[in-house]
Amino acid sequence: MRWFSWLTSSAANTLVDPVSGRKLYPIDGGIAFPDYHKQETADIPIRNVAMPSHYIVPLRVNPRFTARPIVDIGARVRKGEKIGEPEGKFGVAVHAPTSGVIRDLGHYPMTHVSGLPALAYFIEPDGKDEAIEPTPYRGACDDTDRIRDFLQQMGLAGLGGAAFPSHAKVASSPVKTLIINGAECEPWITCDDRLMREHAAEIVAGACDLAAAVHAQEVLIGIEDNKPQAIAAMQAAAANHGTVTVVAIPTIYPAGGEKQLIERLTGIEVPYGHLSAEFGVLVFNVGTARAVHRALTDGEPLIERVVTLTGAADDPGNRWVRIGHPIAELILEMAPKPEVDRYLLGGPMTGFAIPDLDAPILKGSNCIIAASPDLFPPPPPEQPCIRCGACAPVCPARLEPMALYWFARAQQFGKAQEFHLFDCIECGCCAYVCPAHIPLVDYYRYAKSEIWEREREKSKAQQSKARFEFRNYRLEREKAEKAARAAAKAAETKRRLEAQAKQSSTEASPGDTDSKQESAPSPQALGTNDPDARKKALVEAALARARAKRAAEATEPSGENRE
């Protein structure tokens, strides 16, 4: 029997949190699962994993932002040493997960649905795990700019799944409400639950650090009410922090979506094309909050995270895993059963089958599920859309999934954008309830990728055009400058020759005026830009002076007739 069924929850929209007494606001859509399959791993303490034979540390933190390699092949590195310099405003630094030797810098398969390779370091551990000297943050706790720069150099990225650079979310302007996301609404995943149970004090401390950095007036920690132990642990840790409130929210998927959690806790609906910071709200994952505290207090860069290992396995649970750990070696930690036919990265709703098990764990890798045909039967074949409209009521973003499907299928991407395609959070609710078994989210992802690719091509074309126009401008400028230099040189030559002609005229006798004038080149000839004409004029002037001199000598009386 399949582990899931679906139903929408209307009662969940009218509750008041009995823990904090805080009013909860309604959200649209969503699915309440009869079994979230969290009990398989939720009560097992987090453990460490054995060091792998190698690490593959990518320089691409997420599909959009990369770092620049700064360490040569063959160099020895230590744990926590920076090996990638952030590029651009949104890039984050990359650090070595352990001590060892860099054996290669090349393209390796990544944990992405496409399986496309990305530039990464291949590090061979030396087994010593020697770390660099930590450098904690020494500035003011409310110095937003310095904290943002520090977090960028510490490699902080969101641990909720998207791996969005954390420093980019630290707003320059003050915010009113800081939300720490502990909802963890997707089935099977329990890494945040265990983290809150075992490291609640560090999470609250990180929340307070972030609140000081962004000048937040209040901190709300939202946790789904199916995690009572995590709620109790976080309440105990927040007891002495007056601005921190732990809020239990109804269990419904996808309550952990950023916009959905904001609306549930504050009643603020972030519209299409806007960021939550514009409305005075910021959201960070609980794991990110702890990582921020460790970075600021202990100088510890983000080089590890908690990963849930679950599914058809004999030793499931949560593990501390360093970034770059090969998945092929990690899955051995959970002792997968023989019937496992594939592995999913992420949850069953938003995750995907891992195309290459040699790919590494990334900062956004939160769960690996050993999938078997019993737990996850193959989907039925796709059928034509019957226009039943079942997808619309469950959409938490208030979109029209059926219209987006038709536009994406017809490649009418402009229309899809008009219907707010990029407001889709790819939660999978629409595909989950579709009686025709249409993989709707795949169509939306396809449309988004095509739009992004066309935007990239358009940007490249604009850059090429700008380069071409600048080249033409440069050539025209150089041509004008060359002409100006030639004209200035000609003018100088003209001035010098005119001065010489004037001097020769004043030195000549009055009777020789005509001959001297005859010897001088004409101003018209000197003023020309033609070098041959100027040369001819100068020769003619010299010849004229010679003739004048001979004529003068011929008219002088001889010496024998002088008295």
* Helix intervals (H) in 275-400: 286-298, 327-330
The reply, when asked if residue 385 is annotated as ligand binding, is yes
The reply, when asked if residue 388 is annotated as ligand binding, is yes
Under 8 Å between Cβ of 316 and 44: yes
Dihedrals φ, ψ of 316, to 5°? -75, 170
The reply, when asked if residue 191 is annotated as ligand binding, is no
Under 8 Å between Cβ of 349 and 432: yes
CA 40, 45, 51 angle in degrees (round to 5)? 105
Task: Note the Cα 544 to chain centre separation in Å.
Answer: 80
- Starting at the earlier edge strand, list the strands of the sheet with 100-109: 55-58, 117-125, 100-109, 76-77
236 vs 261: CA distance, rounded Å:
22
Task: Note the Cα 108 to chain centre separation in Å.
Answer: 19
Q: Give the closest residue to 226 by CA, choosing from 207, 265, 252.
A: 252
Q: What is the DSSP letter of 174?
A: -
Residue with tokens 């091509």: 457
The reply, when asked if residue 141 is annotated as ligand binding, is no
**Which tokens is 177 given?**
């409400």
344 vs 469: CA distance, rounded Å:
49
Task: Note the Cα 399 to chain centre separation in Å.
Answer: 26
Q: Which residues of 140-176 are buried (b: 16+ CB within 10 A; e: fewer)?
A: eeeebeebbebbbbbbbbbbbbebbbbbbbbbeeebe
In sign, the C-alpha dihedral spanning 296, 301, 302, 304 is: negative
Dihedrals φ, ψ of 531, to 5°? -60, -35
The reply, when asked if residue 429 is annotated as ligand binding, is no
181 vs 178: CA distance, rounded Å:
10
The reply, when asked if residue 395 is annotated as ligand binding, is yes
CA 487, 489, 492 angle in degrees (round to 5)? 110
Residues in binding site: 385, 388, 391, 395, 424, 427, 430, 434
Residues in binding site for [4Fe-4S] cluster: 385, 388, 391, 395, 424, 427, 430, 434
